Amino acid sequence: MSKFQHWIYRLFYLRKPPWDTGVTPPEVTRRIESGEIPPGRALDLGCGTGTNAIYLAQHGFQVVGIDFVPRAIEQARQKAAQAGVDVAFHVGDVSDISFLGDVQFDLVLDIGCFHSITESSRPAYARGLGEHTRPGARYLLYAFQPRRFFLRQRMGLTRDEVETLFERWFQIRQVEGGTDPTGGGSAWYDLERSGA
């Protein structure tokens, strides 16, 4: 993510950002509430003000949330305290999660973060996920298809890019959306961590 984008995102959090709906998406809730993904350790990358991390904690997960905007993390901690759940929130860079040590996760959630980081940071992000997930772990990713914004900077990625970036560690189980032939759409990716 460029310095300009960092600045823009920090500005957004001076008020309520448009993407901060306060509602966990049905693509997540149906997998959790059906028992398809049982409770375990969960990592929420680009957690914002903590809506989804708190939801997971309320459903039995041990949760870590990471976001680079300090104000978002402050709000997330306040919301978790009000909800009466324990979530470990950190200000950090999602492309370098080495500070987590040897913790292994059963679920990784990324709703709109990965498509915002620079293309040069994406391999490190993917490697970090590979190193911090157990075989069989699930990775739920919501991402824009490629588009231009912020002075024509490219944002988003294709299904082929997702497959290529994560193929060493994950297999795609399902893709919902992402069929807009003109670009500008979005997709939910459900990936599963391969064996050892």
User: Which pLDDT score is estimated for 10?
Assistant: 55
Give residue for tokens 């988003």.
156
In order, the DSSP letters of 32-69 are: HHTSSS-SSEEEEET-TTSHHHHHHHHTT-EEEEEES-
User: Which pLDDT score is estimated for 183?
Assistant: 55
CB 109 within 8 A of CB 42: yes
User: Which pLDDT score is estimated for 14?
Assistant: 60
Dist. CA 50–CA 80, nearest whole Å:
7
Joined together, the tokens standing for residue 44 give 């929420």
Mean pLDDT by 10 residues, the chain (196 residues): 54 64 92 98 96 98 95 95 98 96 97 88 96 98 76 73 95 83 77 88
User: Which pLDDT score is estimated for 46?
Assistant: 94
Superfamily of domain 25-153+162-193: Vaccinia Virus protein VP39 (3.40.50.150)
The length of the chain, given as a count of residues? 196
